Amino acid sequence: MFEIYKTMWQKRKMINELARQDIKREYAGTLLGMMWGLINPLLRIAVYWFVFSVGARAGHPVNGAPYIAWLAAGLVAWFFINDAFKSAKNSFRSRRSIIKNTPFPIAILPAGKVLYAYYIHLILLAVLLAVMALILKTVSIYWVQIFYYDFAACMLLIGLGSMTAPLVAVSKDFSHFIDTFLIFLFWMTPILWAVHNVHPELQYIIKLNPFHYIIQGYRDSLFYDTGFWEYPLYTLYFWGFVLVTLVLGNYLFKRMKPVFLDIL
Identified binder of other proteins from the candidate list 6, 12, 24, 196, rule CB under 8 A:
24
Minimum gap (Å) between residue 126 Cβ and other proteins: 25
**How is 81-134 classified by DSSP, letter by letter?**
HHHHHHHHHTHHHHTHHHHTTS-S-GGGHHHHHHHHHHHHHHHHHHHHHHHHHH
Is there binding between residue 31 and other proteins (CB under 8 A)?
no
User: Does 261 contact other proteins by CB under 8 A?
Assistant: yes
SS3 225: coil
**Does 18 contact other proteins by CB under 8 A?**
yes
- CB burial of residue 137 (10 Å; 0-12, 13-18, 19+): exposed
Judged by CB under 8 A, the stretch of 16-24, 53-61, 180-188, 196-204 that binds other proteins is 16-24
Q: How far is the CB of 21 from other proteins (least distance, A)?
A: 5
Stretch that binds other proteins, among 46-54, 99-107, 185-193, 210-218 (CB under 8 A): 99-107
Cβ nearer to other proteins, comparing 81 with 163: 163
Instruction: By CB under 8 A, tell whether 13 contacts other proteins.
Output: yes
Residue 64 gets which letter from DSSP?
Answer: T
Q: Compare residues 11 and 219 and give the one whose CB is closer to other proteins.
A: 11
For residue 193, which of 52, 47, 43, 7 has the smallest C-alpha distance? 52
H-type alpha helices, 11-66: 12-27, 36-49
Burial class (CB in 10 A: 0-12, 13-18, 19+), 80: buried
Binding flag, residue 167, other proteins (CB under 8 A): yes
Q: Which residue ranges make up the site for other proteins (CB under 8 A)?
A: 13-14, 17-18, 21, 24-25, 28-29, 97-104, 167, 170-171, 255-259, 261-263
